[in-house]
Structure 1
Amino acid sequence: MIHTLAISGYRSIRNLVLPLARLTVVTGRNGTGKSSFYRALRLLAEVAQGRVISSLAAEGGLQSTLWAGPEQISREMRAGTQEIQGTMRRKRVSLKLGFASEDYGYAIDLGLPIISSGSMFTLDPEIKAEAVWTGDVLSRRNAFATRVGPAVTGLDRAGRRQTLITSLPPYDSMMTHAADPREMAELLVLRERMRGWRFYDHFRTDAEAPARASRVGTRTPALSADGSDLAAALQTIIEIGDRDRLSRAIADAFPNSGITIAQSGGKLELLMRQHGLLRSLHAAELSDGTLRYLLLLAALLTPRAPGLMVLNEPETSLHPELLAPLARLILQASASCQIIVVTHAKALVDELSAAGAQSHELSKSCGETVIEGLERISWEWPSR
């Protein structure tokens, strides 16, 4: 389980180190940085997939995603007695992301590229430093793999530090290019764990939504990010998951209702029985809110729970009466995996917090995303 998450220099997040629990709720008013927080988590996961550089380039490059405020914010600026203005920069420009879990920690430092006259990839940031360690906080004593520039060093089986790679390109992470199962098994374990993280963000429910169409189905223990395999995911829960729990969850949200999965020509289609209707409704006929809830249900009742699941604004298009059943569904799912919920629905926040979820409310101070009253947590970034 991840117990600490750190973000520095990303959009409105100048420097944020916050604790995470088995179930964590991140909330706040519009414009306080919830989307930036969610995107930063996605970027961290992209490192293990080898896509962090391309993802940042797609956002307009590092210059478009960096903290846009002054390097330092004085007390006078926060009090409004001094105009907010920049000063001579003393530190290097960087975007840093990291986390610490019960066994391993990881952090990455991305900086501005060195412009090459022969390259057209000027939006690509460069990976300046990385580190993997054991324990809560990175130090020279507990780091077993570090990357500075193109060089990667790590501990061998005898505990001796050795150079693993001397010329790692600035666009490649050591997480994908130094994970040797013989010498760097820890990197491999951590990489595969991060690759298993799941993110669900604004399922489509329009008339052309992938979840509304019948599709060829195979066993699907993990719902895809776009929900296109909804029928297959629900049938997988019925066959190898907790079928009774699925039925109870549907009845909790939609009393006297149920679902069946029909098969025709190798394609699977979702049908829903609703109280008072003489026939089942096809997925194409379901309301946006009903379809979205079924998508969330398939994600949360997965037979193969990931190490981390992140839900971004799951309340979108849901009727207020569905928020309490959704909260109960999330609470049950958090028994088998760590969950982070990013939401601005107060009713959902209240339901989850009352049941023991850790809650962080984001706010803005001089343009910076902060959490008022958050106790300082020890954290160290890898050195360049």
Structure 2
Amino acid sequence: MYSTVAVGGYRSLRDVVLPLGRLTVVTGANGTGKSSVYRALRLLGACGRGEVVRALAQEGGLESALWAGPESLAQARRGHALQGTMRSGPISVRLGVGGTEADLSYLVDLGIPVPGESAFARDPEVKREAVWRGPVMRPATLAARRRHHSVELRAEDERWEKTAAAVHPWASMLTDVVDPIAAPELWAVRQELRTWRFYDGFRVDGEAPARRPQVGTRTWALAEDGSDLAAALQTIREDSGAELAAAVEDAFDGARLEVALHDGLFDVALHQPGMLRPLRSAELSDGTLRYLLWLAALLTPVPPRLLALNEPETSLHPSLVPPLARAVAAASTRAQVVLVTHSQALVDALAEAVREQHALAIDPREVGDDDLAAVPPLRLHELTKDLGETQVAGQGMLTTPSWEWGRR
């Protein structure tokens, strides 16, 4: 399990460290940085696929994604006028995820490229990376480290050995040093990050991909646009049909889901009480189709290491919020889930679903932070903003998880 996620210098996330649970819920008012947390996770996942530079460039380049305020807000918080100063540290976006004591952790430092004649001046450079065991990076726990073009691996005799190949500034060591024998830690982190999945709402308009019949093959992970919905649902039906049927019944009393096959094309067919025929995907209401899409994402037969959901309650009727919360809570027993929402109704429903699922005597939101290394069933973080900087409500020096970025 992952115990922490850390972000520095990215948009309003000047320096944020969030402890994670099996289910982590991030909430707060509009503009407090919820979407930035979700985007930061996407960038981390892109490191495992070798796409982090392109993903950041698509956001407008490094300069548009950087923290726009001063390096320190200490003087502004004492009442002085907000002003910039000479920076003492490098300008960079830093991303990291920490595991528990037995798991691997990873960080990446993305910086401004060296000025030159290249037309790709908006591409950030990977300045530094590190892989270690446990939640906090320490010299004794480091397994691999990268500084600019070179990568070093810790050998069995604890000596550092430099890899033969140089790593390009636009590439990650996770994708350029691919050797499960010589570099098993890099291989493991790469494979973990590549499994991460992200769902940021679904199109349900008349031309949405999910409303069209499709050629179906076994689908172990729903596409981000929901284009393979019917195939994904059929895969779930053949793997764990009872769970899918129960989730549909939980939301739509008396309804029964099937996947219709015609000339090799798959289509959703929902039987509902009082209807003489099932409704196909093109006929379903927006909310019903969106709920089925979320079920396809949550009940996947091959769960990822981390599943990130951005405002899944959008356009759902209030009656569908509790069933959705129960499906999310069930998914958190198979994969670590990070959910971003501004719906208090969904937060309350998630807390109740987790309490019932784990047979807790108290509300899981009341679990203390005495042991920050543990991974509880639920973590709830409310984000606020102060002088443009995202902060975690109620988090202080004693309750912020330990995290060490190190130096270039």
TM over 0.5: yes
Q: Which residue of 2 aligns with 1:147?
A: 146
Q: Does 1:112 align with 2:112?
A: yes
Equivalent position of 1:209 in the other structure? 208
1:42 aligns with 2:42: yes
- d(CA) in 1 for partners of 2:135 and 2:59? 31
Give the number of aligned pairs: 380
Distance 1:6 1:193 in 2: 17
Q: Which moved more, 1:119-128 or 1:353-362?
A: 353-362
Once the two structures are superposed, what CA deviation does each residue of 1:145-170 show, in whole Å capped at 9, x if it has no partner? 00011111012344431001463111
Query: Where has structure 1 moved over 6 Å in runs of 4 or more?
Result: none
Quick one: which amino acid aligns to residue 303 of structure 1?
P
Is the Cα contact below 8 Å between 1:104 and 1:190 reproduced in 2? Answer: yes
Deviations 1:354-378 (A, max 9, x none): 4332100011010001002212221
Instruction: State how far apart, in whole Å, the 2-side matches of 1:259 and 1:166 are.
Output: 53
Return the letter of the residue paired with 1:21: G
Q: Deviations over 1:106-155 (max 9, x none)?
A: 000011001112x1001001111000001221111111100011111012
SS at match of 1:262: strand
Other structure's SS at 2:217 match: coil
- 1:59 corresponds in structure 2 to 59
Is the 1:156–1:184 Cα contact (8 Å) retained in structure 2? no
Coordinate RMSD, CA, aligned: 1.2
Question: Which deviations, in whole Å up to 9, do the C-alpha atoms of 1:3-56 show, x marking residues without a partner?
Answer: 010000000100001100111100011110111110000000000100000111
Measured in 1, the distance between the counterparts of 2:270 and 2:165 equals 58
Q: Which residue of 2 aligns with 1:370?
A: 391
Aligned to 1:133: 132
Q: Using structure 2 for the length normalisation, give the TM-score.
A: 0.91
Q: Distance in 2 between matches of 1:319 and 1:281?
A: 19
What 5-or-longer segments of structure 1 have no aligned partner? none
Match status 1:16 vs 2:37 = no
- 2:77 & 2:351 partners in 1: Cα distance? 30
- Counterpart AA for 2:381: H
* Aligned match of 2:369: none
Aligned 8 A contact 1:165 1:178 in 2 = no
The answer as to whether partners of 1:109 and 1:382 remain within 8 angstroms in 2 is: no
Structure 1 CA distance for aligned equivalents of residues 91 and 185 of structure 2 = 30
- Secondary structure in structure 1 of the residue aligned to 2:71: coil
SS at match of 1:128: strand
**SS across alignment from 1:344:** coil
Aligned-partner SS, 2:163: strand
Q: Is 1:309–1:339's contact at 8 Å kept on the other side of the alignment? A: yes
Distance in 1 (alpha carbons) for counterparts of 2:226 and 2:3: 29
Shift of 1:304: 1.1
TM-score by length of 1: 0.96
Give the secondary-structure state (helix, strand or coil) at the position aligned to 1:285.
coil
Please tell me whether residue 196 in structure 1 is matched to residue 220 in structure 2. no
Q: What SS is found at the alignment partner of 1:141?
A: helix
Q: Which residue of 1 aligns with 2:361?
A: none
1:302-381 correspondence to structure 2 within 5 Å: 302-354=300-352, 355=355, 356=364, 357-374=378-395, 375-381=399-405
User: CA separation in 1, counterparts of 2:90 and 2:192?
Assistant: 31
The 5-angstrom pairing of residues 198-237 of structure 1 reads 198-237=197-236
